[in-house]
Chain A
Amino acid sequence: MALSKNSGGHWGMQESMYSVIALVFILVACVELCDAAAAIDVYRLIQYDMSGSAYGSRFAALNHHAASLHFPPGSDLSRAVLIIPLRELNITFVREYINQKKPLGGLLFLLPEIFSFENGGKKQVHEKEQLKNLLAELEQLLIHANIPYPVYFAFENDEIDTVLADIKKNDAIGQPATATTGGYKLVIPTPEPKKVASPTFTNIQGWLSGLKADGDTNQLPTIAIVASYDTFGAAPALSVGSDSNGSGVVALLEIARLFSLLYSNPKTRGRYNLLFGLTSGGPYNYNGTQKWLRSFDQRLRESIDYAICLNSIGSWDNELWIHVSKPPENAYIKQIFEGFSNVAEELDIKVGLKHKKINISNPRVAWEHEQFSRLRVTAATLSEISTAPELLQGTGGLFDSRQFVNETAITRGVKLVAESLARHIYGHQGKNVQIFADGGSLAVNPAYIQSWLDLLSQTPRVAPFLSKNDPCVMALKKELADHTDEVNMQHEVLEGVFTFYDSTSARLNIYQVASVTFDLLLLLMLGSYLIVLFSFLVITTRGLDDLISLFRRPPSRKNNT
């Protein structure tokens, strides 16, 4: 019994020991709970593999000293992060650094606030165009380079401006960082970026049935209106793609709304089915559109009369282009183009026709209509862009923000497409009939366009980072369901060519640190202070002889032995 009592007491002591040790561990772990000089949101450059080659920034975690562009020439930057505001960017400098693979600890680009979708929309900057072009060039450079250090984007604000001014001052003097003059350390504590496992692309389609006459067993012809809604840019967390292709999506929704009004009344329902498609996978050679078309029934595909693809119709003045892949002499193409031209003339818009032949062996698909054409469906793309974009170009990057999109342009584009379609459906080609006249109940609603455009300009839509039930996708589906009879979603997996990595945004902490020499100096001073204090106390309380005797061995001992 004594034994059990003993062991019971021993067990109790062990338990309390463990709890004390656990408490000590918790206390030790609380190192990170200190506040920094500044903490801002930063967005990482995209990291992806294409056909096995690595592109983008391959690292995410950052823990280095900050440096500005005024660094003393010849200094070692392999453990420094360069902070570059966009206004002072010298693109050749950055290109040189990246192409020659010079070692660098990291890059932080500061973007002016006008590119921010949260609060930048109100400011007017007179060099908008210049900055936009510079940013576009920078983006193309960064996307196609393999960068072995972290690259981040942030928006300018007061905190980081003062920090940067301080850094520039120090660099200009060439002064090493000391405690009072402020050396800064940038820390981003994120784990290693991992592959996004099986990224899903979601295609949303809405079906508006036409009026079938009694006794007619044939399938009604279909007209398809398609726009791709996803984007790709240098910073996936900032790729809102207001023009490419937010404008196309908004236009499609407005057209769907107008035609649903028309089709709701059987007296005004046309003899054509309308198929609205919001496709994903646009930047990747319209892969999503291809899968969507392949999933169709053969009969449905054959019943499509023609398809109109909308791509970037948000920032044009007077000229739009219709891109086709069949030769312009083709009867169908002629019909479509004439229909559009007639309406365009009335609306005071100039419409041009551009023909680009498809090369079957070339995997590059520059326009969405090419995917239709490859499956023998007549199609055309309406766009403000006159030349075919390269791969991953013009897909809604950093510079494509709400500032640069004009909702009147979209309104005119919607009117153009809707009138042309309606004249074709109701057989009024060549007649001067205004179905969607301004001021009527079927007028194009600019408030609808503006609110959807604002919403889309605040949601980044890079497809691999959109889950199946992403709120944006669900919102588009719901809106389309409001305007059409039947809505279907198709989930596909992008296989093979592209692989993406996560960790798109993080929080940057900026610390003001003292150099090691400062700590050593302080230690030296404290040591001498304590020694002086010690001597002072010994002298005043015990006498000077005692102080001296501390350092001398007592000679009497030796004599005794």
Chain B
Amino acid sequence: MTMFHFFNCAILTFGPHAVYYSATPLSEYDTLGTSVKAALVYLGTALVKLVCLATFLQVSENDGFDPYQELLKALIGFIDVAGLYFALTQLTHRNISQNHKFQAVGLGWAFADSVLHRLAPLWVGARGLEFTWDYILQGLEANANLVLSISLAALGSLIWLRKNKPKTLIPIIYACAGIVATMPSITSYLRRGLGWHFSKVVGFELFTSLVMAFISWQLFSACQRPYRCDAHCPVVSYEIPFGHRCKLQKTQIVYIYRSRGMTLAPRLVDLIG
């Protein structure tokens, strides 16, 4: 029966990642390699953060909130951002559109975070006879983390990969990216400084992650380049060009699949980002 509980919590923690991968077009374009690379970059980033924390942080006896220590932890948290930058820009990806690139990187990042931080406590704790709500809350936290990682990757790709953005939106993008990047410090302040219960903290995380996801989705689509399915088609859209079906001409545009034996339609080449 306790393995049952472990199984439940495991599918709550890791299921959404698998569902996200299979539901979105990520699975069609075989972006698994990107996700795996992003996960490895996360591992490296985690190691670097550990070393920095061990070097610069002092261990405090009580569980209270020390502003100086938290500030240091927040600064070290920005190493996360650097790692994400590395994963988005420096790694070589196959020809994947920007949309899918940030999703794949965010997914890999979140999956590695869940495995590293939540798998071991789950294995050791959830199989015991004693029942606590902790592991279910942890799974919900993993879900919120997934949404936050993808938002952060979206904003990151906007900042570093998109060349021409509307001028008015740039400060908003940076502000949102800053908020999402400092989420870990905010949650630890809520838990330690204000003494919030774990369930309240998880609820707050879920709410903010949904809000930030919505905002970054709006920003991302606002910065999209307009696209036309055909030089003669009057329909202009901002949607992802792959698999587009031109409603006006009622013809099937050549489906741009992953470059596995199918060639790209030549007129669409320069429209791809």
Contact = CB atoms under 8 A, between A and B. Distances in A.
B129 A519 contact: no
Q: Majority SS of interface residues in chain B?
A: helix
B128 A537 contact: no
A37 B129 CA distance: 10
A537 B20 contact: yes
Interface string B114-143: 000000000111011111000010000000
Interface string B10-46: 0110011001101111000000000000000000000
B54 interface: no
A22 interface: no
A533 B19 CA distance: 7
Contact of A34 (B8, B24, B124): B124
A497 interface: no
Contacts of A536: 23
Contacts, number: 74
Contacts of B240: 541
Contacts of B22: 534
Contact of A533 (B4, B7, B16, B128): B16
B31 to A, nearest CB: 13
Nearest to A183: B131
B14 to A, nearest CB: 11
A523 B8 contact: yes
Contact of B1 (A31, A36, A512, A516): A516
B8 A526 contact: yes
Nearest to B243: A542
B130 A36 contact: yes
A511 B132 CA distance: 11
A538 B129 CA distance: 38
Nearest to B126: A34
B5 interface: yes
A163 B26 CA distance: 52
Nearest to A523: B8
A32 B19 CA distance: 33
Determine the interface band of chain A, counting residues with CB < 8 A from chain B.
Answer: 20 to 34
B55 to A, nearest CB: 30
A526 B12 contact: yes
B5 A514 contact: yes
Nearest to B12: A526
A27 interface: yes
A62 to B, nearest CB: 13
B13 to A, nearest CB: 10
B12 A533 contact: no
Contact of A513 (B20, B24, B124, B129): B129
A167 to B, nearest CB: 16
Contacts of B8: 519, 522-523, 526
Contacts of A511: 128-131
A34 B130 contact: yes
A35 B129 CA distance: 9
A542 B24 contact: yes
Nearest to A527: B11
Contacts of A526: 8, 11-12, 15
A422 interface: no
A534 B17 CA distance: 10
Given A30-B124, A512-B131, A542 B19 contact: no
A32 B128 CA distance: 7
Nearest to B128: A34
Given A535-B23, A542-B243, 9 more contacts: A36-B130, A179-B131, A511-B131, A519-B5, A522-B136, A534-B19, A534-B23, A538-B23, A541-B240
Interface of A: 27, 30-37, 179, 185, 187, 511-514, 516, 519, 522-523, 526, 530, 533-538, 541-542
